[in-house]
Structure 1
Amino acid sequence: MLYFFIGLLASIFGALAGLGGGIIIKPVLDFFGHYEVTTIGILSAATVFSMACVSLLTSIKSDVKIHLKSSFLIAIGSITGGVIGKLLFNYIVRIIGISDVITVFQDGIIAILMVVIFILVKNKEKTSYKVDSQCLILVIGFILGMIAAFLGIGGGPFNVAILALFFSMGAREAALNSIFIIFFSQLSSLLFTTFTTGFSDLDLTMLPYMIVGGMLGGFLGSLFSKKVNNQFVEKIFKVGIIAIISVNIYNIVRYFFY
């Protein structure tokens, strides 16, 4: 039930605000400390992917639409960047070999990036652009995918911030397009693991419960999204970012002082 509710609550926030869920699942599972870093990455990716599938299907009749050109280009770039990020992550795991050290390193980077995103999103009216260059969009997607794959998260907050800042999207619009990008990035991440290291060495006994939670969360989050305005989604996004920063900082402090 614990893992079901982690998947459910993370996916509701993920579908509603475009956070994806992985950025919540990763630090929460680090907090409980039941699994090592590689297993957490797979649990997160599978849960977020199931959320994205249901959320996109539920949003078909939504008044908010997906910007297919820009979002698909970002998705393509994120797939390529995701492969590089996974290779880099696997290399560091082999070199360091200590799961706790890698976890603290990831949590530290996530906390710093979340602070930057919070500041940028809060001041987005002063720094909003409209990017049209296809090459630049692919590069943006590549960077997003590499960061998300290396950190073991869906990349939702990064997607939302980039879509708001560089493509002038509103909160609900950015959230849906973020989930569209996450669908492809998490699919590629799972396929990459399937055809490289595989899943045989991982303890995935909790995965079915998290997937069910992710699917239900994706449905509920998308349902709520249709009933709220941009201002409410922005508030949920900011609250989610603050919570993520707090959990990551706590995980780091706990590692060094407990």
Structure 2
Amino acid sequence: MQSRHAEQHINMKYAIWLGIGSVIGGALGDFTFKQIYDALGDDLSVVVQMVLVIISLILSLYGSSGHIQPLYLAGTSVMFMSGLGLGWLATVLGIGGGPINIACFLVLLGLEIRPATIYSIITIFFSQGAKIIQALASKSIMNVDPLMIIVIIITALLGGWLGAIISNRITEKRILMLFNLVVVFVLILDAGNLIGYLV
């Protein structure tokens, strides 16, 4: 079991199939969200979305806690279905899906936190990329402030750069601890947003 962990690395074939599944999942998730929005309306769909995000964050914390025995699944079909499901879920919830993705990769594939994070980034890139392409095609993105887009891109690149530096200097255990702390912070923030929205 220990040697299996030591040999883990990013498999390019797996990454490609994960990306393909994420693109399809992202497109399906966008379609699903529009159906939910049309059926429930603005206010109720937002509440449902917030509640589902909170539930998913709680499940992510439990999945990364070590209380669930990893399944050590493998194969291109597993990666495709993972990308499909996670891409769909992240788009329906309206979030990148990082915490959910990482927890799933820890449990389903039995990965360490570093490769799980890389596969999560691949999933987010392709699933949200599909959403951006759809927004460009429908010209709905034209309503977004270009300055805000530039600021988001710059801060995302800066955050990724700082994260990579920190990740290379600390242990897997500390990375997992930081991950759980961030998830708890986001969970508290989302719970506060939900209460504020309802009140």
Residue 67 (structure 1) aligned with residue 29 (structure 2) = no
Equivalent pair of 2:17/2:80 in contact (CA under 8 Å):
yes
- Report how far residue 122 of structure 1 moved: 0.6
Residue 112 (structure 1) aligned with residue 55 (structure 2) = yes
The match for 2:184 is 242
- Report how far residue 242 of structure 1 moved: 0.8
Match of 1:199, SS state, is helix
Of the three residues 55, 62, 65, the one matched with 1:122 is: 65
Change (3 A) 1:177 1:139: closer
Q: Which of the pair has the greater relative contact order for Cα pairs under 8 Å at 6+ separation?
A: 1
TM-score, length-normalised on structure 2?
Answer: 0.86
Aligned residues between the structures: 192
Give the letter for the 1:121 counterpart.
S
Equivalent pair of 1:104/1:251 in contact (CA under 8 Å):
no
Give the letter for the 1:78 counterpart.
S
Deviations, residues 145-179 of structure 1 (Å, cap 9, x unaligned): 10111112111112211211121211122112222
Equivalent pair of 2:14/2:75 in contact (CA under 8 Å):
no
Give the letter for the 2:33 counterpart.
F
The match for 1:136 is 78
Of the three residues 157, 171, 174, the one matched with 1:232 is: 174
Residue 86 (structure 1) aligned with residue 86 (structure 2) = no
- Report how far residue 181 of structure 1 moved: 2.5
Partners of 2:81 and 2:114 in 1: CA distance: 24
Of the three residues 175, 179, 182, the one matched with 2:117 is: 175
Equivalent pair of 2:26/2:88 in contact (CA under 8 Å):
yes
Partners of 1:176 and 1:228 in 2: CA distance: 16
CA RMSD of aligned residues (A): 2.1
Change (3 A) 1:140 1:177: closer
Q: Percent identity?
A: 26
Residue 165 (structure 1) aligned with residue 101 (structure 2) = no
Deviations, residues 80-121 of structure 1 (Å, cap 9, x unaligned): 1110101122233344442x4333221110101111111121
The match for 2:156 is 214
TM-score, length-normalised on structure 1?
Answer: 0.68
Q: Which runs of 5+ in 2 are unaligned?
A: 1-7
Match of 2:44, SS state, is helix
Change (3 A) 1:102 1:82: same
Partners of 1:222 and 1:142 in 2: CA distance: 27
Partners of 1:94 and 1:192 in 2: CA distance: 18
